[in-house]
Amino acid sequence: MKRNFIACFLLLTSLAAGAKQQGETSMTLPDGNGSSREPVELNRNKRQPLPYKDATLPVETRVEDLLSRMTLYEKIAQLNQYTLGNNDNVNNIDEVVDKIPSETGSLIYFGDNASLRNAMQKKAVEETRLGIPILFGFDVIHGFRTVYPIPLAIGASWNPGLAGEACRVAAMEAWHAGIDWTFSPMVDIARDARWGRIAEGYGEDPYLTSVFGAASVKAYQGDDLSEPGNIAACLKHYVGYGASEAGRDYVPTEISRQTLWDTYLPPFEAGIKAGAATVMSSFNNISGIPGSANHYTMTEVLKEKWNHDGFVVADWNAVVQLISQGMAKDGKEAAMYAINAGLDMDMVDNLYMQHLEALLNEGKVSMERVDDAVRRILKLKFELGLFENPYTEEKPESEWVLLPESLETARNLAEESMVLLKNDGDVLPLEKDCKVALIGPMARNQKDLLGSWFGRGRAEDVTSIYDGLNEVMETSVAYAPGCDFDGSDTSGFAEAVRVASESDVVVLCLGEKRNWSGENASRSTIALPGIQEDLLMTLKETGKPIVVVLSNGRSLDLTRISPAADAVLETWQPGVMGGPAVASVLTGGTNPSGRLTVTFPYTTGQIPVYYNHRESGRRGSQGLYQDIPSTPMYEFGYGLSYTDYEYGQVTVSADSFTVNDRITASVTVRNAGDMDGKETVQWYICDPYSSLTRPVKELKHFEKRLLKAGEEYTFTFEIDPMRDLSFVNGEGERFIEPGDFYIMVKDQKVRITLTE
């Protein structure tokens, strides 16, 4: 049963009563299990700082010095994480400790400001023997208080620079609230929108996810983690969590080594290269070995092949879940499997604390492994400057939350992430003096525009679509809710029809509640509930043009909605500036520039459907559905705008080259319309014949750029054969084979040849 609690940070008082300050000689500490630990020498000379407290020394030296002074209990305590504050996350269940030792490595911090953190930190820094500061982490997924669009929307912006700006805002706010570490970015590839956590990643493509993941890591962490406003990042969920069967959460995944390397590992590798300080192990069982007990992924790949020198934290209770997953017979065995596989920090289930000492004594876990895990955690604490600056200055909230420039970033990102799916008869953009009937359950809603994982965001911070639209329209907007998000109550339909009949155009705001996606929020169909579709069908009978505005945390089955609407705008869950952003796009203040990063299937039954699949043995007219087209409704990369972009001929600097050459592909794009707009050129590669078959096409590069009306620009893609034309096998070894390849841009396909 879930127990919410304000953590009682009762430091072992016997410990506090003993020696705490540097300068004292030695002491024996009781540990949580009642056994004693060896005495440890501390520095007698008060004027000479202990090496680990000397900020002029290299981090490695400080880590080694501190490690050499630690008792076993102090080391084990570093490997545990608990919570502090009111844990209001419904999926964070089964907390198992109510007394948190002040020597603990980390806490998940549920605070709006730094005061509680500072009080706890004081216990750790001033009342423990070695004064090791605690690392405070939190799920800052798409903003802390200034909530910006969900990651799935961020991907659809195709603007990693802007995504980085938003992460800077999140980091700044979180840092002021006392958070050192965010459990973000999530770089899980998801191809099944029934899985609610598709909302938390950047979509179905490994390359695009890699780019956004790396941009987020760099933005959160900055160049120097100890600088104000920088926080450590955490790549999650390592790995393959998105391969969830039938979209159910937490279930086992079947992933071949080939698919692991082709699809699920690349974004993690990119994030590690970008400098991610930490990684979170996943809940899913990966073809027999759970992610949180997987030596291959955590040690052989992450730490040995990629040389990651940060640490791996478990997902919530992921160690104890090794029992439910059928691997460990009890908590002790679970702890053994996890730490031996390379999992450094145990999130909340307290098993490392309970069992590591015994496991060491029995020789089932080595001291070397424990020391390695402790080193990795201490290293981050030193890099964050926590020993020098353990406390967060408590500034008035007005100085750091919802600042005008933060809201501006949130708004820009919301605008750039919206995808215009349909616009028959150029019904959009709306004239500002037209009479709008704003209808639907999302029209005046605030809280659901936040999406899942909204940090410390508040519904009252959100500007609704109704308020956003009223702000820009010259005539006042008429409103009727029509119906709720689900259920069968059609009593509001008549009023909606009346309002629609008196208008020039209907803007119908449909979608999902925020808790319909995210963790543990799967849906068996990704169509909207029938009542919302029925409202559209009823309004259609008025003969008025209908613009459907969608807000949701996944791709949708629009089989009924899309044909019935004149225009469809996908706005995702756009965050606090959702209303103004929607209004701007609807009225042409912003030319829509978002493009899908998840395929919208024709119906739910097509799932999984994604663009970068391999070719079938019988192409074309075979292997088709009896009842629906075999092509999706809207493909990856799709999205309309209010202007026309004319693409010239794609050219290449050489059509034949060797592996050591670089060739440049170019295409000139002209904004042939009369509205400025941002166009993203998407560069794909196709390797038609290979000893290890490749997907029909793979995104390798993209660039988004503002093109003023009438302006043209030549976009380029410099091809590095080893990077862009090679492939990996199931062991992660990279190969390149001579032969023909195709560069694909829009509907063009240009052949290039790699020679021996």
Contact between 726 and 692 under an 8 Å Cβ cutoff? The reply is no
What CA–CA distance (Å, rounded) separates 498 from 520? 39
Question: Does residue 89 bind ligand NOJ (CB under 6 A)?
Answer: yes
For ligand NOJ, which is the closer residue by CB, 89 or 716? 89
Binding track, positions 522-541, relative to ligand NOJ; x by CB under 6 A: --------------------
Helical segments of 136-282, H only: 151-156, 160-176, 206-221, 257-259, 266-273
Tell me which residue has its CB nearest to ligand NOJ.
183
Binding track, positions 196-235, relative to ligand NOJ; x by CB under 6 A: ----------------------------------------
Which residues, in sequence order, are bridge partners of residue 550? 510, 570
For ligand NOJ, which is the closer residue by CB, 290 or 578? 290
Question: Does residue 557 bind ligand NOJ (CB under 6 A)?
Answer: no
For the purposes of burial, counting CB atoms within 10 Å of the CB of 171, is it exposed (0-12), middle (13-18) or buried (19 or more)? buried
Q: Shortest distance, CB of residue 706 to ligand NOJ, whole angstroms?
A: 35
Q: Shortest distance, CB of residue 276 to ligand NOJ, whole angstroms?
A: 14
Q: Shortest distance, CB of residue 92 to ligand NOJ, whole angstroms?
A: 5
**Tally of residues, the chain:** 756
Give 226-229 contacts, CB < 8 A, sequence gap 24+: 226/383, 226/384, 226/385, 226/388, 226/389, 228/175, 229/168, 229/171, 229/172, 229/175
Query: To 10 degrees, what angle do helices 331-341 and 351-361 make?
Result: 80
Question: Does residue 346 bind ligand NOJ (CB under 6 A)?
Answer: no
Q: Shortest distance, CB of residue 191 to ligand NOJ, whole angstroms?
A: 19
For ligand NOJ, which is the closer residue by CB, 316 or 479? 316
Q: How many binding residues for ligand NOJ (CB under 6 A)?
A: 8
Say how many Å lie between the first and final Cα of the chain, rounded: 64
Instruction: Enumerate residues 495-524 that contact ligand NOJ by CB under 6 A.
Output: 519
What CA–CA distance (Å, rounded) separates 120 from 504? 59
The identity of residue 505, as a single letter, is: V
Q: Shortest distance, CB of residue 346 to ligand NOJ, whole angstroms?
A: 13
What is the number of alpha carbons within 13 Å of residue 404 lying toward its C-beta?
0
For ligand NOJ, which is the closer residue by CB, 17 or 90? 90
For ligand NOJ, which is the closer residue by CB, 163 or 313? 313
Interior/surface letters 255-280, b for 16+ CB within 10 angstroms, e for the rest: bebebbbbbbbbbbbbbbebbbbbbb
For ligand NOJ, which is the closer residue by CB, 88 or 460? 88
Instruction: Enumerate residues 313-332 that contact ligand NOJ by CB under 6 A.
Output: 315-316
Token pair recorded at residue 202: 């950047």
For ligand NOJ, which is the closer residue by CB, 284 or 412? 284
Question: Does residue 236 bind ligand NOJ (CB under 6 A)?
Answer: yes
Secondary structure class of 417 (helix, strand, coil): helix
Secondary structure class of 551 (helix, strand, coil): strand
Q: Shortest distance, CB of residue 284 to ligand NOJ, whole angstroms?
A: 10
For ligand NOJ, which is the closer residue by CB, 314 or 510? 314
Question: Does residue 92 bind ligand NOJ (CB under 6 A)?
Answer: yes
Question: Does residue 139 bind ligand NOJ (CB under 6 A)?
Answer: yes
For ligand NOJ, which is the closer residue by CB, 139 or 349? 139
What CA–CA distance (Å, rounded) separates 447 from 462? 7
Q: Shortest distance, CB of residue 188 to ligand NOJ, whole angstroms?
A: 10
CA dihedral defined by 145, 147, 150, 155, rounded to 10 degrees? -110
Q: Shortest distance, CB of residue 280 to ligand NOJ, whole angstroms?
A: 6
Which residues, in sequence order, are bridge partners of residue 286? 253, 289
**List of residues 6+ apart from 410 with CB closer than 8 A:** 143, 146, 147, 148, 149, 166, 169, 575, 576, 577
What CA–CA distance (Å, rounded) separates 324 from 488? 39
Radius of gyration of the chain (CA): 27
Question: Does residue 559 bind ligand NOJ (CB under 6 A)?
Answer: no
Active site residues: 315
Question: Does residue 249 bind ligand NOJ (CB under 6 A)?
Answer: no
Q: Shortest distance, CB of residue 153 to ligand NOJ, whole angstroms?
A: 18
Among residues 181, 183, 602, 717, the one that binds ligand NOJ under rule CB under 6 A: 183
Q: Which of 650, 178, 223 is nearest to 392 (CA)?
A: 178
**Binding positions for ligand NOJ, rule: CB under 6 A:** 89, 92, 139, 183, 236, 315-316, 519
